[in-house]
Structure 1
Amino acid sequence: MSETAKVLLDGQECELPVITGTENEKAIDISKLRDKTGYVTLDTGYKNTGATTSAITFLDGEQGILRYRGYPIEQLAEKSNFLEVSYLLLYGELPSASQLTDFTKRITRHTLVHEDVKKFFDGWPSSAHPMGQLCSLICSLSSFYPESLNPNRSQEEVDLSIIRILAKMPTLVSWIYKKSIGHPLIYPNNNLDYVSNFLFMTYGMRTEDFHVDPVIVEAMDKLLILHADHEQNCSTSTVRLVGSSQANPYASVAAGVAALWGPLHGGANQKVIEMLDQIQNDGGNTAKWIEKAKDKNDPFR
């Protein structure tokens, strides 16, 4: 017999199903609560509410657990690359060698963006925040691919939009950085792998050869894997909410970027980068700054 939870309201008992998740966590299904009782629930901040069932990611920050499709993040970071993990998250299983080759080729073919995209930068000051620029650029892709506005397009066409977003993101991000320092844009070099290509476009110069440091490539690849998915967080929930209106995927992802921009979400990463710059500019004495972080009376905290 299925497990249930009983709620007593106005002298009447209401039974609600209890759902067991993939990691044996328990949830009460309240989707029929209003129909049965007329009551709704209040959960400020959704701290106790799961918005959907999902078998993609399990995250337990208190226990230090992160799994993608059941695979521990430690194994994926050690043995996989970002595109292989992306395939796993999208399609539910790790790709075979031929599937990964095909997936990589599809992404490689779509790294270029329309030349008119460069005109966007002419309207922004050099001090424009990169997240604001990224929101605009991603959303603009729907103008270059108007077929994405059709909510009833085939799964193959939806898949193409996903491929395009994955492929063009490094190009857009690198161009934002180049414009911020007044350097000419660098086009993709599709002879390079995904991460190396991003680093080439970001730090390469038209005036000289650029050799990608394999240590940096490995570190960046692991960083992308670790940030690939974090359950139903603020930005993920935003993308799902906007997408539920049948908005096109570019607009939905752009909304997620806007959510990530907030100081209580992705803005925390910006603060970390600023802190690391501060430590480096101070001479790089990490032991000193660790002690400052431990000191409850130090304003650095």
Structure 2
Amino acid sequence: MADELIKGLEGVLAAESELSSIDGDAGRLIYLGYDIEDLARHASYEEVVYLLWHGDLPTRSQLDSFTEAMTAERVVDESIVETVRRLADSDERPMAAMRTAVSMLSSTDPDADAAAQDHEAARRKARRITAKIPTILAAYDRVRQGEEPIDPDPDLGLAANFLYMLTGERPDEIAAETFDQSLILHADHGLNASTFTAMVVGSTMADLYASVTAGIGALSGPLHGGANQDVMEVLFEIDESDRDPLAWVEQATEEGRRIPGFGHRVYNVKDPRAKILQARSEELAASGDDTWYEITTTIEDYLTEEKGLVEKGIAPNVDFYSGSVYYQLGIPIDMYTPIFAMSRAAGWTAHVLEYQADNRLIRPRGRYVGPDDRDYVPIDER
């Protein structure tokens, strides 16, 4: 058993965690014992971040103090803003720009030289990272649109403030609540590729900036992040074709085309996060353009009822509805994966802090399958 090769480490237990649990057969996700539907319906993103970092939901006074501390960390040093400007002006990709800027944040952190074993300093770093990433992303998008970055508004929560810094307009209640829910749904999700990457780096006792930068790098790969952008591009294709969505998806499946947003490495039924975002998409459609909601529901109904994909363990995942929700909120599609990272920074840092509290260097083995007993030949005789 010790020598069994399991490609992709699928199903391999690599760590114990109290943070989140996924039941792929029941379609259930919990954070520290709380069902994701309850948290999305009743909590704020700040409450969920506090839960992930402290193990319990905050009291009112604890949440007020925590939110005040997070809000105070939103401002980004001008040297980093200038780098973001240069990256935006050079048309650097959003994920790559964020990766560079987040790595730079350590240069202005007053706790930069604190040892990884200093857990209070590490928690302060986590707070700064999570608070500053929205400012970085919004500034990047504003600059590339030819606009000036907008300063954070201390009177707005993290989700509403990001939409304000991005668009220049304070979001209405429905938009702010929808985006806040989305951040909650993406805050953590077990030992996925980017979280495990952040933990591997953290297990060396590197600081949180190294771990989060590594997590961003892992998420930038198309097999992990980006599916919601792919979904939106398919929706654009259907809309621009002027064809009936049902006819389009029928032909696409007959041609063997894969529809993004369906299937998940863990869930065998509909992703519980997709259910929540589908409801928000419907609510947004009721107060505006219902095109995207109608197309997505048509695709889902056909693939589940006509093609029976759910019975085969292939069901809508969170990306299937998050793409259209983000679009309805006015977010550029190439910012979808960076927003995923913006939310997941809370989970990455929580897992690193948890793992480092009882740390063991992550060092798996690889089976050697190369040649044996080769004699060295001097270079002039080869």
TM-score higher than 0.5 = yes
1:227 is aligned to 2:183:
no
Closer, same or farther: CA 84–139 of 1 in aligned 2, 3 Å? same
Structure with the largest fraction of strand: 1
Moved more, 143-152 or 60-69: 143-152
1:191 is aligned to 2:191:
no
Structure with the largest fraction of helix: 2
Closer, same or farther: CA 275–180 of 1 in aligned 2, 3 Å? farther
Do 1:292 and 1:300's aligned partners in 2 also have CA atoms closer than 8 Å? Answer: no
**Aligned-partner residue type, residue 140 of structure 2:** I
2, 19, 28: which one pairs with 1:56? 19
2:90, 2:42 → 1: CA distance?
Answer: 39
Do 1:236 and 1:256's aligned partners in 2 also have CA atoms closer than 8 Å? Answer: yes
**Aligned-partner residue type, residue 296 of structure 1:** E
Alpha-carbon distance, 1:251 to partner: 1.7
Alpha-carbon distance, 1:217 to partner: 1.0
2:6, 2:66 → 1: CA distance?
Answer: 41
TM-score for the superposition, normalised by structure 1: 0.79
What is the correspondence of 1:1-301 to structure 2 with a 5 Å cutoff?
A: 39-124=2-87, 125-145=89-109, 147-152=111-116, 154-204=118-168, 210-282=169-241, 287=246, 291=250, 295-297=253-255, 299=257, 301=259
Query: 5+ residue gaps in structure 2?
Result: 260-382
Q: 2:56 aligns to what SS in structure 1?
A: coil
Moved more, 115-124 or 132-141: 115-124
Do 1:57 and 1:68's aligned partners in 2 also have CA atoms closer than 8 Å? Answer: yes
Alpha-carbon distance, 1:252 to partner: 1.0
1:232, 1:290 → 2: CA distance?
Answer: 33
Q: 1:123 aligns to what SS in structure 2?
A: helix
Moved more, 64-73 or 41-50: 41-50
Report the number of matched residues.
Answer: 258
Closer, same or farther: CA 184–283 of 1 in aligned 2, 3 Å? farther
TM-score for the superposition, normalised by structure 2: 0.63
Closer, same or farther: CA 290–235 of 1 in aligned 2, 3 Å? same
Closer, same or farther: CA 214–276 of 1 in aligned 2, 3 Å? farther
Do 1:113 and 1:171's aligned partners in 2 also have CA atoms closer than 8 Å? Answer: yes
**Aligned-partner residue type, residue 110 of structure 1:** E
Closer, same or farther: CA 152–82 of 1 in aligned 2, 3 Å? closer
1:57, 1:292 → 2: CA distance?
Answer: 39
CA RMSD of aligned residues (A): 2.2
Work out the percentage of aligned pairs sharing the same amino acid.
Answer: 37
1:84, 1:40 → 2: CA distance?
Answer: 43
1:40, 1:107 → 2: CA distance?
Answer: 46
2:61, 2:248 → 1: CA distance?
Answer: 48
Do 1:149 and 1:248's aligned partners in 2 also have CA atoms closer than 8 Å? Answer: no
Closer, same or farther: CA 246–153 of 1 in aligned 2, 3 Å? closer
Query: 5+ residue gaps in structure 1?
Result: 1-6, 8-38, 205-209
| Structure with more contact order per residue of length (Cα contacts < 8 Å, sep ≥ 6) | 2
2:158, 2:98 → 1: CA distance?
Answer: 19
The superposition leaves residues 235-255 of structure 1 with CA deviations (integer Å, 9 ceiling, x where unpaired) of 000100111112211121011
Alpha-carbon distance, 1:65 to partner: 1.1
2:245, 2:172 → 1: CA distance?
Answer: 24
Moved more, 233-242 or 59-68: 59-68
Residue 373 of structure 2 is matched in structure 1 by none
Do 2:22 and 2:190's aligned partners in 1 also have CA atoms closer than 8 Å? Answer: yes
2:242, 2:171 → 1: CA distance?
Answer: 26
